Amino acid sequence: MKELEKLYDRIVQRVNINLRELDFDVCPFAQELIPPDQMSKFYAFYGITPDHPLDLHFEHSALAGSYFLGKCQVKNSLLYKSDIRGDELKRKDQDIVFDDFSLTLDNDERITIKESALVKTLVHNFSHDPETPEQFFIKNTLAMDYSNIHGSPSDGCFLGPFATVDLTTMRDCAIGEYSYIQAGEISHLKVNPGTIWVQSPGNFNFLYKYPQEILKKYISLSPNKVPWGVLIDFINERKEQFQRVFDFVNLDAIESIPTTASLDRYAVILPKMKIGDNVLISQRAYLENSVMGKGANAQENCFIINSSLEGFNVSAHGAKIIESDLGLQVFVGFNSFLFGKKKSRLKVGKGCVIMPHTIIDIDTPLEIPEDHLVWGLIRNKDELKNNSLSLEQMNNITSFVTMGNMHFEGSGKLFVQAFKDRIHHILEANGAFFENDRNEGHAQRNQNLSLNTIQPFQFGTKEGMYPTIRILP
């Protein structure tokens, strides 16, 4: 246990050194972040498929309950129930195009985690940093509960709970809780909680800021205390169901699953589920009494409860959909919280885009018309009116618009097209369009996934640590 504590202290100090210019001290937040006595109680595990190059290397690291897929290396780091997903790593001899530059890779891309602490964090690969195309690095970084590092190399950063950094290289930044950042490249920034920022320099800039006092109801963070709020309570109420899938080696098979669909071994699937063709259910997703239409997906840490998804729906990492009916091709962004009630259901029309980190918390029925962009905090029809635009209206913006706490400038047409392209890529990569042995994706390839466990030291000064292990193809 002494080695574990020394490792954690060293990581915290390294993060603090990087954040010194921001005058941001992670020590108070780190004190309650990881329970040392739990680190030896959880096995790590990794997946093997014929489609993902395997090359794991652990050195003086702790990996409790964490999951690895693809070519990964973890050195002098501490991970607790994190998902390191490498199913879209770039391959040797692949051509990479960035602006006017083209590069052929000499090696397979590798996820490299060094001197970092990741807690219940999703790491999804495919780095968009053209300077390091063969290495997706996370170093000197501390990420808290249910944060997402999505295609975003990170050096010297802090991510609060439910924060997401998407397709953005970040250096020496502190990202507040429930913030979503997609901005290409950022450095030496302190981002306030509840900031939703989507920028393509020269094309568009979308910015929304949650009212701080209201946001605290849903997620709060303070020194010397674990995160709390409605989002944390919602997840904690369902912990026991997740414990079962991790405790048992063999679970009863789920009946009536199409041969083209894929349900991860470590997803929670409760009764009365209807699963359509080409559906992908990812690691740590939670589904109960719901319908997943053809080509729909539930990505890591998603919750879909008493809801219907008509088909070709994208539920991005951490999305929560409760007592809701979603039409065809609805996109629900990262960590969004669609919280309908039994007698106050939410209906979302075909083709809608629910922006990442949107909160819809209603006590009366609410319907969102087809082909609308929705963002921010929505609790009634008036707030929906102030926090949504039709995609046609968005397409016609050529300069700027301000609506409440949202400010947009640039080309609305390019903004909408960027989202449509991203949604199509996700569906395509997940195998939503698979038919007649064509357009295969994760939903089909993951059926060949084999899972393996790795055990930490159970006693002595190295308790909770993992032996150095090399697992080669």
pLDDT at 125: 81
pLDDT at 255: 62
* C-alpha to C-alpha distances, 4 to 81, 120, 158, nearest whole angstrom: 16, 18, 20
For residues 117-134, give the mean pLDDT.
88
Is 157 in the same domain as 253?
Answer: no
Residue 224 reports pLDDT greater than 80: no
C-beta atoms surrounding 325 within 10 Å: 19
Is 217 in the same domain as 88?
Answer: yes
Could you tell me the pLDDT band of residue 268, with boundaries at 50, 70 and 90?
A: very high
Could you tell me the pLDDT band of residue 68, with boundaries at 50, 70 and 90?
A: very high
Is 323 in the same domain as 207?
Answer: no
pLDDT at 165: 98
Residue 252 reports pLDDT greater than 60: no
Count of domains for the chain: 2
Cα separation of 145 and 439, whole Å?
35
| Tokens standing for residue 202 | 């020269």
301-307's contacts with Cβ under 8 Å and 24+ in sequence apart are 301/83, 301/122, 301/146, 303/234, 303/235, 303/238, 306/342, 307/340
Residue 174 resides in a domain = yes
pLDDT at 249: 52
For residues 244-272, give the mean pLDDT.
77
Residue 232 resides in a domain = no
CB 335 within 8 A of CB 313: no
Is 170 in the same domain as 59?
Answer: yes
Give me the amino acid identity at 468. Answer: T
For residues 384-390, give the mean pLDDT.
98
Is 158 in the same domain as 287?
Answer: no
pLDDT at 1: 61
Residue 247 reports pLDDT greater than 90: no
Could you tell me how many residues make up the chain? 473
Residue 460 reports pLDDT greater than 90: no
pLDDT digits (tens, 9 = 90+) for 324-376: 999 999 999 999 999 999 999 999 999 999 999 999 999 999 999 999 999 99
Give me the amino acid identity at 462. Answer: K
Residue 405 resides in a domain = no
Residue 206 resides in a domain = yes
Find the domain containing 307 and state its range: 238-396+412-446
Nearest Cα neighbor of 129 from 100, 153, 156, 105 is 153
Residue 229 reports pLDDT greater than 60: yes
The DSSP secondary-structure symbol of 61 reads: B
Is 195 in the same domain as 260?
Answer: no
For residues 107-112, give the mean pLDDT.
92
Distance of CA 187 to the CA centre of its chain: 21
For residues 59-67, give the mean pLDDT.
91
Is 61 in the same domain as 204?
Answer: yes
CB 145 within 8 A of CB 232: yes
Burial class, 11, CB count within 10 angstroms (exposed 0-12 / middle 13-18 / buried 19+):
buried
Residue 428 resides in a domain = yes
Query: What mean pLDDT is reported for the chain?
Result: 92
Could you tell me the pLDDT band of residue 293, with boundaries at 50, 70 and 90?
A: very high
| Tokens standing for residue 21 | 């210019």
pLDDT at 132: 85
Could you tell me the pLDDT band of residue 223, with boundaries at 50, 70 and 90?
A: confident
pLDDT at 251: 53
Q: Which residue has the higher pLDDT, 466 or 427?
A: 427
Residue 366 resides in a domain = yes
Q: Which residue has the higher pLDDT, 249 or 131?
A: 131
pLDDT at 248: 58
Residue 404 resides in a domain = no
Residue 179 resides in a domain = yes
Could you tell me the pLDDT band of residue 128, with boundaries at 50, 70 and 90?
A: confident
pLDDT digits (tens, 9 = 90+) for 154-195: 999 999 999 999 999 999 999 999 999 999 999 999 999 999
Q: Which residue has the higher pLDDT, 414 or 266?
A: 414
Q: Domain with 424 in it: what CATH number?
A: 2.160.10.10
Is 125 in the same domain as 67?
Answer: yes
pLDDT at 101: 84
For residues 378-397, give the mean pLDDT.
98
274-275 β-sheet, strand order: 274-275, 291-292, 308-309, 324-326, 346-348, 366-368
Is 197 in the same domain as 269?
Answer: no
Cα separation of 61 and 11, whole Å?
11
Nearest Cα neighbor of 388 from 424, 419, 358, 423 is 358
- Which of the residue ranges 27-36, 37-46, 231-240, 241-250 would you say has the lowest mean pLDDT? 241-250
Nearest Cα neighbor of 148 from 83, 193, 209 is 83
Is 74 in the same domain as 211?
Answer: yes
Is 222 in the same domain as 321?
Answer: no
Is 174 in the same domain as 285?
Answer: no
